Amino acid sequence: MTIQANNTLGTIVKQHHLTAHILEKYQLDFCCKGKQTLEEACAHNQLDLNIVLADLQQVSLDEQQQAPQTESMNVEELISVIIRKHHLYVLQQGASIQHHLQKVASKHGDKFPYMIKVWEVFMPALAHLHDHMQKEEQILFPRIRDVYAASKKKQTTLFSPAYLQAPIAAMEAEHDDAGDAFAQIRVLTNNYAIPEGACNTFSLLLMELQDFEADLHRHVHLENHVLFPAALQLMAAN
């Protein structure tokens, strides 16, 4: 697929995985705003469409040979990748960020009061992510596995459409909330800029927050634009 201006952001990343860091460079949200076309997103963010498109097309030249094609995975394989890679990352890195953020907010909050606000945004966002992942692992993902097993026997008519549609809609809404929280953190930190005189912990924290948001984008993209449509397609196939 050749990348074009009328392709949606979600489709671009789905078909050309290594383009994700280009979209992130231009702050184009391919997860929560993945249904926007590249042209619409560039116009909204006042970016030169031709420059962004050229960068994306250059990256996509090598993408097919370098990156695993998750869209070729079945839903069970996708769920395994999400839990193993992204859910575990949130649990581990979230704890590290919480530890560093508490130090920075308490020690440097007077000089950098915006870090206290970052704490106030990050902590509930992390708690909501933990709750969100638990609901996925205990409710939605088992339902997707049920539908996948039934699809092999041509028995997906045993399930009502709401069996997947309702929890998927709820998870997508929570994805939007998580994306909004980190967009707020990005603004508060001036795109994770390390201020002059920042200590090593402060600098590390800002890099951790930036990496956390980047992983969140990939995590949400894999669910919203790969796993969920594949699961719903299984329901529609029989």
Whose CA is closest to 17, among 54, 70, 58? 70
C-alpha–C-alpha distance, residues 35 and 147, integer Å: 25
DSSP class of residue 195? P
Report d(CA 144, CA 216) in Å as an integer: 21
* DSSP track, 211-228: HHHHHHHHHHHHIIIIIH
What is the rounded (10 degree) CA torsion for 105, 122, 205, 187?
A: -90
Can you tell me the distance from the alpha carbon of 13 to that of 71, in angstroms, rounded to the nearest whole number? 11
Determine the pLDDT at residue 122.
Answer: 98
Interatomic CA distance for residues 141 and 75, integer angstroms: 9
Q: What is the pLDDT of residue 116?
A: 96
* Residue in 230, 221, 235, 211 with CA at minimum distance from that of residue 154: 235
Q: For residues 115 and 87, give the distance between their C-alpha atoms in angstroms, rounded to a whole number.
A: 25
> HSE (CB half, 13 Å, CA atoms) of 202?
19
d(CA 88, CA 62): 29
pLDDT attached to residue 238: 62
Residues 6+ apart with CB under 8 A from 57: 2, 3
Q: Mind listing the pLDDT tens digit of every residue in the chain (238 residues)?
A: 689 999 999 888 878 766 877 898 899 988 788 899 999 999 999 999 999 999 998 887 765 554 456 767 899 999 999 999 999 999 999 999 999 999 999 999 999 999 999 999 999 999 999 999 999 999 999 999 999 999 988 887 888 889 999 999 999 999 999 999 999 999 999 999 999 988 888 998 999 999 999 999 999 999 999 999 999 999 887 6
Domain boundaries, the chain: 9-66, 71-237
pLDDT value of residue 138: 98
pLDDT value at residue 17: 66
Could you tell me the pTM of the whole model?
0.81
CA–CA distance, 39 with 57 (Å, rounded to integer) = 14
Q: Contact, 204 vs 11, CB < 8 A?
A: no
Amino acid at 99: H
